[in-house]
């Protein structure tokens, strides 16, 4: 078994919190992506939380914005999920990520992903998060292209937060600070989905 395969088989260590960004209004989709239901009948939002939990994240912070009341109803009753509505979510991903990081309580690191990655697998999260610490800065890559998940150690929360504004997310910070690239091409699931599927809730 290769080193990458061994890493992917390990559960994400304690101290990890998942952050699922689901605030956008989904203009190209025609509806908020958090309200999209996959062909298998599972809402993308519910699947995103499940994948983070199955990777080993004990808690998941879900960042909402557009149609937050409808989206929140999909997560009712899950004690492992904390929902936060991002002020200024219309500004872009920077506001959503800033809101998510602000909700994290004393973690070792955060695993960040998006709601519109319905093919993302727990194995990819485990691989990127393997042996992560407070200083870790990593990003999944697929066929040479940056994607998700992104793993950010707690030591980076404050300086990263200062760079988040408008539609500027973590990518400039990751590039400037030489984030470690983790190849997840063999696991697939790196492409976000903008085209409407067959049905939505």
Model pLDDT for residues 59-83, shown as the tens digit of each residue: 999 999 988 999 999 997 788 899 9
The answer to whether 84 and 100 have CB atoms below 8 angstroms apart is yes
Whether the predicted pLDDT of 41 surpasses 70: yes
pTM of the full predicted structure? 0.87
- b/e map of 108-138 (b: 16 or more CB within 10 Å)? bbbbbbbbbbbebbbbbbbbbbbebeeebbb
- Please tell me the predicted confidence (pLDDT) of residue 146: 95
pLDDT 10s digits, 109-136 = 999 999 999 999 999 999 999 999 999 9
Domain coordinates of the chain in residue numbers?
A: 3-186
Neighbours of 166 (CB within 10 A): 11
- Please tell me the predicted confidence (pLDDT) of residue 20: 97
- b/e map of 185-198 (b: 16 or more CB within 10 Å)? eebebbeebeeeee
Whether the predicted pLDDT of 27 surpasses 90: no
- Closest to 31 in 3D by CA, of 72, 70, 87: 70
Whether the predicted pLDDT of 1 surpasses 70: no
* The domain over range 3-186 is classified in CATH as 3.30.950.10: no
Q: Please compute the mean of the pLDDT values over residues 151-168 and round it to a whole number.
A: 93
Q: Please compute the mean of the pLDDT values over residues 175-190 and round it to a whole number.
A: 92
Whether the predicted pLDDT of 22 surpasses 90: yes
- Please tell me the predicted confidence (pLDDT) of residue 188: 83
Whether the predicted pLDDT of 48 surpasses 60: yes
Q: Please compute the mean of the pLDDT values over residues 28-32 and round it to a whole number.
A: 69
- Please tell me the predicted confidence (pLDDT) of residue 182: 97
């Amino acid at each position: 078994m290769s080193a990458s395969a061994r890493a992917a088989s390990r559960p994400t260590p304690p101290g990890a919190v998942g952050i699922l960004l689901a605030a956008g209004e989904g203009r190209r989709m025609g509806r908020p992506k958090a309200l999209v239901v996959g062909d298998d009948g599972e809402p993308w939002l519910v699947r995103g939380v499940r994948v983070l939990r199955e990777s080993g994240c004990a808690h998941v912070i879900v960042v909402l914005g557009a149609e937050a009341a409808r989206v929140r109803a999909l997560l009712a009753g899950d004690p492992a999920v904390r929902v936060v509505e991002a002020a200024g979510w219309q500004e872009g991903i920077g506001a959503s990520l800033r809101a998510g990081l602000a909700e994290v309580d004393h973690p070792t690191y955060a695993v960040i992903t998006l709601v519109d990655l319905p093919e993302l697998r727990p194995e990819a999260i485990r691989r990127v998060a393997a042996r992560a610490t407070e200083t870790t800065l990593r990003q999944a890559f697929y066929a040479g292209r940056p994607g998700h998940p992104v793993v950010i150690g707690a030591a980076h929360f404050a300086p990263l937060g200062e760079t988040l504004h408008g539609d500027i997310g973590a990518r400039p910070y990751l590039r400037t600070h030489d984030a470690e690239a983790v190849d997840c091409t063999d696991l697939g699931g790196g492409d976000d989905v903008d085209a409407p599927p067959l049905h939505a809730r």
